[in-house]
A and B are shown apart, each in its own frame.
Chain A
Amino acid sequence: MKKLNNSKLALTLGTSIGLAMVAGSAMAQDCTTKIGAVLPTSVDWGRPIAETAQFAVDQVNAAGGVAGCEIEMVLRDTQVDPKVGVDAAKALVDLDGVQVLLGAVSSGVSMPILTSVSVPSNVMQMSCCSSSTAFTKLAEEGNTDGLFFRTFATTGVQAAVGAKVAADQGFSSVAILYKNDDWGQDLNNLIARDFEALGITVTASVAINDGQPSYRAEVTQALSGSPEALYLGLYPAEGTAAVREWLSLGGTQNMIMANSLKSDDFRENVGLQYLGSALGTDTASPRVASADAFVAAYIDRFDSEPNGPGLANSYDATMIALLAMEAAGKDATGDQIAASVASVTDPNGTPVTADTAGFAAARDVLAGGGTVMYQGATGNVRFDANGDVSAPAVVWKFTEGGTEEVQYLSLTEVDDFIASLN
């Protein structure tokens, strides 16, 4: 067995040495730089996240690649199993020599990758979708070495905007259904506090576990306080089941949804006719004309709007990682790339768009020693010292063809509102 493994590994090693030699001797586009992606491709909502990352890589390659080299994204499946994800990340770092890891999605997978692969190996890790507050704490303790970033706005923004929607609509009582994972538990704690701060009664706060035989009991419990509205911190799979049950038992159609439900599956399986008064929240693109570029390019490529958990976040994570690689220059190490993130997400930098042209423009600015402000699919992404991002917010609703924006909240408005809650 060992022998077999060895020979396979030797093969990869040979290939990568070969590529490295090519890289050393050739000019633009004749060399290849690898980046690693560890994403749950075998899960229904995981695959589009990986496809979107590849989409960003393709756009950058169309712009001539990074530091003159074509980017190859090596994708590994985590199966949402921490062991498997960590092993994949370790193999990418040790065998493929990547300096950048994209992923993972679940915090429970991203965290061991960070502590046992990225930090020890000095590799930058950029997660699209891990939301746990544990990352912030780890960074505060100085244990991430500044190598970790995530483009998923902290759950605090999501919760605050959700509470604001309820207040604006004049609801005085709300029931909460939340997914029983790290994201859902966080969200529930935060939004319950925000509702309270706004004087809105939370009639029930019900955890929804994955794959239960029936959500009837949970829904009955949420119904029992006769709330004026329902807050949904769920994913499409259990969200569909719970909301169908909720509606059939005569629950109100006044619903407020987290961005995870921005999904075509959810809209079709629940039915648009019942979602007329449902409002969702999300982080938003900036108010510049070029921001539509991402959506347009996405539709062009995938024939559908980028609706689904984490798609825009995955795109931004990939783009920022590649921009930072460009800024750090050829053969930069993980910590150098991580240090360059600030120069591509600089609020005072030259604005660049999220597409091929934007990447080419950024290259020129960076080559001239300037900094850029990346205007991404989730907004003007700006990381704080802990690698956390904040962004403008948007309120949306479902339409025939997808979703449409109802209200836009700039970064200042979001910050002011959050401050007013405390």
Chain B
Amino acid sequence: MIGLISYLVFFTTVASILAIAVLGLNLQWGNTGLFNGGVVAFFGAGAYGTLLLGGTPQPDHMGGFGLIYPLALLGGMVAAGLLAWIVGVLTLRMRHDYLAISTFGVAVAFENLMRNAEWLSGGAKGIRGFERPLRAALGDGFLYNLLFLLFVLLLLFATYRFLELLVGSPFGRLLRAIREDETAARSLGKSPDRIRLIAFITGSVIMGLAGGLYGTFYAFVSPQDVLPTLTFQIWAMLIVGGAGNNRGAIMGAFLIWAAWTASGWGLSRFAPVEMQIFAGSIQYVLIGLVIVGMLLWRPQGLFPERLVVSQSGHAKN
């Protein structure tokens, strides 16, 4: 029984971390209509930023500033935000399909930079030397994982509340207005470019938070953690959950991650050994089918966006 609970705590932690990243994407895509094809770059900036700032000094690469944990995590989020600001200023004016391609390229370049810049990020062997916060006091057994899960759930809830408030606010209406009809929004004297940039950076900071927690949980990050696969996974979670609905985004994250791990578990248990080599490919084909299937038959996702009608009809800003 202890084993089962221990595993569920572990599973829920990872799923919750991914759910935070999905919430960040939901702000960008679900609410603002920005196609971010490089989620993993901002996630990675958060993870690398946190570990570089909070780790112990290493002889072969930069960082190891040993900042206290909350500052390190915040630093990771700032790193993601800075990256998003640069990328946003350069690319958000582009046509939407150009944006998808450019951000995809950002992620490739980010992974590539982390892999090669040994002085910065330790190169392909990644960053270690990070001590999980309070490990000395709590050990690193079940109790630690349980408390860390509570910490992650707290942040997931905080992010969710923040986004719900944001989406319900005049700013949120503005985001949807830009998504639906940019020209109309502009004619009302709004500045779509600026608003979009703010939404893009906010969403990326949230992804950075998820990345920071991910790096903390594993106390390690390497270029293998920031491959484009993660972008696909996060997107699949959002599409399945329902773009535009924060609760759907969280459910999508849990559903897809459960399906991903359970299918690996099931294949290892029930598929003959000769079939194992196909397991990875089959999983990817399935995830592709789920994505395409959802777009064909239920494009609004399992939990569709609830259309909020403003009570007054006259936004304050």
Q: In chain A, residues 28-57, which have Cβ atoms closer than 8 Å to a Cβ of chain B?
A: 40-43, 46-47, 50-51, 54
Contact status of A108 and B261, CB under 8 A, knowing A9-B4, A90-B10: no
Instruction: Tell me the complex Cα distance, A97–B129, Å.
Output: 29
A133-141, A330-338, A401-409: which one contacts chain B? A133-141
Q: Closest 6 CB pairs between A and B? A: A42-B280, A108-B224, A94-B7, A182-B125, A108-B222, A112-B218
8 A-B pairs with CB atoms under 8 Å apart are A5-B258, A13-B3, A50-B276, A88-B264, A91-B265, A108-B125, A116-B219, A182-B126
Instruction: Tell me the complex Cα distance, A77–B283, Å.
Output: 11
Contact status of A87 and B222, CB under 8 A, knowing A43-B280, A132-B125, A185-B123: no
Which residues of the partner chain B approach A13 to less than 8 Å between Cβ atoms?
Answer: 1, 3-4
Q: Determine if A107 and B262 form an interchain contact, defined as CB atoms under 8 angstroms apart.
A: no
Q: Determine if A42 and B281 form an interchain contact, defined as CB atoms under 8 angstroms apart.
A: yes
Q: In chain A, residues 1-42, which have Cβ atoms closer than 8 Å to a Cβ of chain B?
A: 1-2, 4-5, 8-10, 12-13, 40-42
A78-86, A232-240, A260-268, A319-327: which one contacts chain B? A78-86
Say yes or no for A180: interface residue by CB 8 A criterion.
yes
Instruction: Tell me the complex Cα distance, A54–B276, Å.
Output: 13
Q: Determine if A41 and B276 form an interchain contact, defined as CB atoms under 8 angstroms apart.
A: yes
Which residue on chain A has the smallest CB distance to residue B11? A87
Which residues of the partner chain B approach A41 to less than 8 Å between Cβ atoms?
Answer: 276-277, 279-280
Chain B interface bracket (under 10, 10 to 19, 20 to 34, 35 or more): 35 or more
**B144-163, CB under 8 A of A: which get 1 and which 0?**
11000000000000000000
Say yes or no for B217: interface residue by CB 8 A criterion.
yes
Q: Determine if A109 and B278 form an interchain contact, defined as CB atoms under 8 angstroms apart.
A: no
Say yes or no for B120: interface residue by CB 8 A criterion.
no
Q: Determine if A75 and B268 form an interchain contact, defined as CB atoms under 8 angstroms apart.
A: yes
Shortest CB-to-CB span from B145 to chain A, Å, is 8
Other than A75-B276, A94-B7, A209-B112, give 12 A-B pairs with Cβ distance below 8 A: A10-B4, A42-B283, A76-B264, A83-B225, A86-B218, A87-B261, A94-B4, A111-B128, A112-B219, A115-B219, A116-B219, A119-B140
Q: In chain B, residues 1-25, which have Cβ atoms closer than 8 Å to a Cβ of chain A?
A: 1, 3-4, 6-8, 10-11, 14
**A59-81, CB under 8 A of B: which get 1 and which 0?**
00000000000000011110111
Main secondary structure of the interface of B (DSSP, over half): helix
Instruction: Tell me the complex Cα distance, A323–B230, Å.
Output: 39
Interface residues of chain B, those whose CB is within 8 Å of chain A, are 1, 3-4, 6-8, 10-11, 14, 112, 115-116, 118, 123-126, 128-129, 140-141, 144-145, 217-220, 222-225, 227, 229-230, 254-255, 258, 260-262, 264-269, 273, 276-281, 283
Interface residues of chain A, those whose CB is within 8 Å of chain B, are 1-2, 4-5, 8-10, 12-13, 40-43, 46-47, 50-51, 54, 74-77, 79-84, 86-88, 90-91, 93-95, 97, 106-109, 111-112, 115-116, 119-121, 132-134, 137-138, 141, 180-182, 184-186, 207, 209
Central interface residue in B145, B258, B262, B280, by most chain A CB within 10 Å: B280
Q: Determine if B124 and A180 form an interchain contact, defined as CB atoms under 8 angstroms apart.
A: yes
Instruction: Tell me the complex Cα distance, A185–B116, Å.
Output: 9
Contact status of A8 and B262, CB under 8 A, knowing A87-B14, A94-B10, A134-B128: yes
Which residue on chain B has the smallest CB distance to residue A76? B268
Q: Determine if A5 and B262 form an interchain contact, defined as CB atoms under 8 angstroms apart.
A: yes
Central interface residue in B1, B11, B140, B222, by most chain A CB within 10 Å: B222
Shortest CB-to-CB span from A335 to chain B, Å, is 13
Instruction: Tell me the complex Cα distance, A82–B47, Å.
Output: 14
Which residue on chain A has the smallest CB distance to residue B268? A76
Shortest CB-to-CB span from A329 to chain B, Å, is 22
Contact status of A84 and B264, CB under 8 A, knowing A42-B277, A79-B283, A94-B10: yes
Which residues of the partner chain A approach B280 to less than 8 Å between Cβ atoms?
Answer: 40-43, 77, 79
Which residues of the partner chain B approach A83 to less than 8 Å between Cβ atoms?
Answer: 14, 225, 230
Q: Determine if B225 and A108 form an interchain contact, defined as CB atoms under 8 angstroms apart.
A: yes
Which residues of the partner chain B approach A137 to less than 8 Å between Cβ atoms?
Answer: 128
Which residues of the partner chain B approach A90 to less than 8 Å between Cβ atoms?
Answer: 7, 10-11
Which residues of the partner chain A approach B144 to less than 8 Å between Cβ atoms?
Answer: 120
Which residues of the partner chain A approach B217 to less than 8 Å between Cβ atoms?
Answer: 116
Q: Determine if B10 and A87 form an interchain contact, defined as CB atoms under 8 angstroms apart.
A: yes
Contact status of A94 and B3, CB under 8 A, knowing A1-B255, A87-B261, A185-B125: yes
Name B126's contact: one of A54, A93, A108 (CB within 8 Å): A108
Shortest CB-to-CB span from B301 to chain A, Å, is 15
Which residues of the partner chain B approach A94 to less than 8 Å between Cβ atoms?
Answer: 3-4, 6-7, 10
Shortest CB-to-CB span from B212 to chain A, Å, is 15
Which residues of the partner chain A approach B225 to less than 8 Å between Cβ atoms?
Answer: 82-83, 108
